[in-house]
Amino acid sequence: MNQNIKDPGLAAVFSFIFNGLGQLYNGQIFKGLCIIFFSAANLLVFIISVVLIGLWLTGRIIFPRQVIFGGVLFSISLVFMCTLGIYSILDAYRVACRK
């Protein structure tokens, strides 16, 4: 069996498990590492936004703008997370189909 043939379904599942793993499976090391980096950075922003919203919910908020900032960060990071996840899965599948 040829080692260069990649299973598109497996590549998509790897990217579903964690963004960028499908690209690494396909041999796209730089692209996979970039997607993993942006996923990790986005996860950090998501966590910060959840903490800000949590402080508001528990009444420990210091500045009213914190909840607005937390809500905006939450919305942006959620959209980015979904978009990057869908892109990663579709790209991993598409590239594996070509190999």
Question: Could you give the dihedral angle defined by the CA atoms of residues 86, 16, 82 and 91, in that order, rounded to the nearest 10 degrees?
Answer: -20
The token duo for 19 is: 């963004």
pLDDT in tens, 55-93: 888 888 778 788 888 899 999 999 999 999 999 999 999
- The closest alpha carbon to 6, from 37, 28, 31, 33, belongs to 28
The maximal CA–CA distance of the chain, rounded, in angstroms, is 62
pLDDT at position 1 is 44
Average pLDDT (32-36) is: 97
Higher pLDDT, 6 or 39: 39
